[in-house]
């Protein structure tokens, strides 16, 4: 009886070890998880040049290419980017920067950008930092999501055991420093991700880790790798050494698979996605993607969501050997907007996701009404605009000769807004113009009656 029980315990322990190993290597994700996707609306409104963002506040930006010469000051709140913004400077005391899919953020200013503790950066779009990025103190996290492009021209430094860099997309750094005060696995790479560095210094044992689902992540170095401690203890990390790459420091790459004279991540990764994008075509939504490299690729799954968090499958397409461009038209409707992502599955069952893209399901045409509907010359009135899908715009009123009588810029967090117009000392036919982003214009005739004497 005791021998049977002992055998059972040994078998059970063996299966448990295999299960734990399988879960860590296949099912696990880089932790902690990134904050959920959200729209650039509501909160405390649109960010402006020099804005102070304090704890509990969320400001967002969704406009076209704009530069904030005075930057922003983050003091515990959240800055969310859905448009194209350049910051000439930034004070990052604490809080969060989130670049959503399709958003572009460039941070200039030179020198060091410090994450001073309890700070986070989430990139699902394109983020460029033309400075050094130093994660000091505790609880700093940078997420670069699948499909995200994250570039730091200078040094990225981790010097705390609770500061982490998680990469599921493409990251490019001048130099990566993993200091001895960091912890094992503080740099976490996910399946099909690509991390490009010129130089790397690793001073903590197994400073780089892989987390699934999936089978491999690429780490490319073109300059010097100073390996003061072994780089990693997982073979899923594929090291791509450029032709001029050198090593120093006395330790090695650990369990990583190393390829020399390696021209780029695409040489090592099974599938490299050039782009995944969505666009309107009549009443349909067109999803298309392009593949640069494919190996061991079985099929693609298009997934859709109405909230950016819960996705469901809407179409599965088999891989066609030699084909690099795919497209699918979604005829579904019923929500104001949709989120889409692409899931790529290998023959061995491993899978990875593209970046998430967001698109309006149906274009809306704003309506304009005046209160009162009959206006006298010199009488103040209100212009009500509804059906807006833009965060900002302009109302202008001109006479028949094109002379500007009234102009008002507006920013709104809701799909409707009201603009107060002072009394105009004219009468007859006028033209009211609503100007929205992307040069979209709506013209309305406006008639002012002559005031009775």
| Of 452 and 59, the one with more pLDDT | 59
The fold adopted by the segment(s) 367-449 is Immunoglobulin-like (2.60.40)
Contact 132, 154 (CB under 8 A): yes
Same fold: 271-360 with 367-449:
yes
pLDDT digits (tens, 9 = 90+) for 79-132: 999 999 999 999 999 999 999 988 999 999 888 999 988 999 999 999 999 999
Average pLDDT over residues 50-60: 95
Q: What integer pLDDT is reported at residue 364 of this predicted model?
A: 61
| Structure-model confidence comparison of residues 269 and 452, the more confident one | 269
Which pLDDT does position 26 carry in this prediction?
36
Position 22 scores a pLDDT of 35
Q: What integer pLDDT is reported at residue 390 of this predicted model?
A: 60
pLDDT of residue 76: 95
Question: Which of 379, 365, 395 lies closest to 447 in space, CA to CA?
Answer: 379
Which two tokens mark 405?
């009588």
pLDDT at 66 exceeding the cut of 80: yes
Percent of the chain predicted with pLDDT > 90: 46
pLDDT tens-digit profile of 274-311?
788 888 776 788 899 988 777 778 899 999 888 777 88
Helix (H, G, I), strand (E, B) or coil at 161: coil
Instruction: Supply angle C-alpha 123, 129, 133, rounded to 5.
Output: 95
Residues 176 and 86: their CA atoms lie apart, in Å, by: 24
The CATH H-level (homologous superfamily) assignment of domain 271-360 is Immunoglobulins (2.60.40.10)
pLDDT band at 437 (very low <50, low <70, confident <90, very high): low
Return the structure tokens found at 207: 């400073």
Angle ∠(128,338,304) on CA atoms, nearest 5: 95
- The phi, psi pair for 65, rounded to 5°, reads -55, 120
* Closest to 393 measured CA to CA, from 334, 442, 333: 442
127-153: pLDDT as tens digits? 999 999 999 889 999 999 988 999 999
Decide the pairing of beta strands 392-398 and 404-411.
antiparallel
- Domain positions in the chain are 12-267, 271-360, 367-449
Residue 372 has pLDDT above 80, yes or no: yes
Strands (E), 111-232: 112-115, 119-123, 126-129, 132-135, 141-144, 149-158, 164-167, 170-178, 187-190, 194-202, 208-211, 217-221, 224-227
CA 339 – CA 359 distance, rounded (Å)? 7
Q: What is the mean pLDDT of the chain?
A: 84
The mean pLDDT value for 52-64 works out to 92
Residue 21 binned pLDDT confidence (cut-offs 50, 70, 90)? very low
């Amino acid at each position: 009886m005791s021998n049977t029980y002992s055998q059972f315990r040994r078998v059970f322990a063996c299966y448990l070890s295999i299960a734990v190993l399988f879960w860590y290597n296949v099912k696990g994700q880089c932790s902690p998880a990134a904050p959920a996707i959200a729209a650039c609306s509501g909160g405390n409104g649109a960010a402006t040049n020099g804005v102070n963002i304090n704890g509990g506040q969320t400001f967002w930006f969704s406009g076209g290419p704009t530069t904030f010469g005075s930057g922003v000051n983050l003091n515990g709140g959240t800055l969310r980017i859905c448009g194209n913004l350049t910051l000439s400077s930034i004070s990052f005391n604490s809080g969060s920067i989130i670049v959503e899919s399709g958003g572009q953020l460039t941070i200039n200013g030179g020198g060091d950008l410090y994450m001073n503790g309890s700070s986070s950066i989430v990139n699902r779009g394109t983020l460029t930092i033309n400075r050094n990025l130093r994660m000091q103190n505790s609880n700093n996290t940078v997420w670069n999501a699948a499909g995200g492009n994250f570039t730091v021209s200078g040094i990225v430094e981790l010097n705390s055991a609770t500061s982490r860099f998680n990469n599921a997309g493409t990251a490019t750094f001048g130099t990566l420093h993993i200091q001895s005060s960091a912890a094992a696995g503080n740099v976490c790479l996910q399946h099909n991700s690509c991390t490009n560095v010129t130089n790397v210094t690793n001073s903590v044992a197994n400073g780089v880790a892989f987390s699934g689902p999936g089978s491999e992540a690429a780490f490319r170095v073109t300059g010097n790798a100073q390996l003061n401690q072994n780089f990693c203890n997982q073979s899923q990390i594929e090291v791509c050494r450029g032709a001029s790459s050198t090593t120093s420091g006395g330790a090695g790459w650990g369990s990583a698979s190393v390829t020399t004279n390696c021209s780029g991540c695409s040489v090592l990764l099974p599938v490299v996605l050039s782009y995944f994008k969505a666009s309107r075509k009549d009443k349909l939504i067109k999803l298309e993607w392009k593949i640069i490299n494919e190996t061991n690729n079985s099929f693609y799954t298009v997934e859709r969501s109405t909230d950016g968090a819960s996705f469901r499958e809407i179409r599965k397409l088999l891989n066609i050997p030699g084909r690099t461009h795919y497209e699918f038209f979604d005829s579904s409707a019923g929500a104001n907007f949709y989120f889409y992502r692409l899931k790529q599955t290998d023959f061995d069952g491993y899978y990875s996701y593209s970046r998430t893209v967001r698109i309006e399901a149906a274009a809306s045409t704003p309506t304009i009404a005046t209160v009162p509907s009959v206006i006298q010359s010199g009488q103040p009135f209100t212009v009500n605009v509804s059906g807006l899908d833009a965060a900002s715009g302009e109302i202008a009123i001109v006479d028949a000769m094109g002379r500007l009588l009234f102009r008002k810029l507006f920013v709104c967090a809701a799909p409707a807004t009201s603009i107060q117009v002072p009394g105009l000392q004219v009468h007859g036919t006028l033209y009211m113009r609503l100007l929205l982003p992307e040069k979209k214009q709506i013209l309305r005739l406006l008639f002012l009656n002559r005031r009775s004497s």
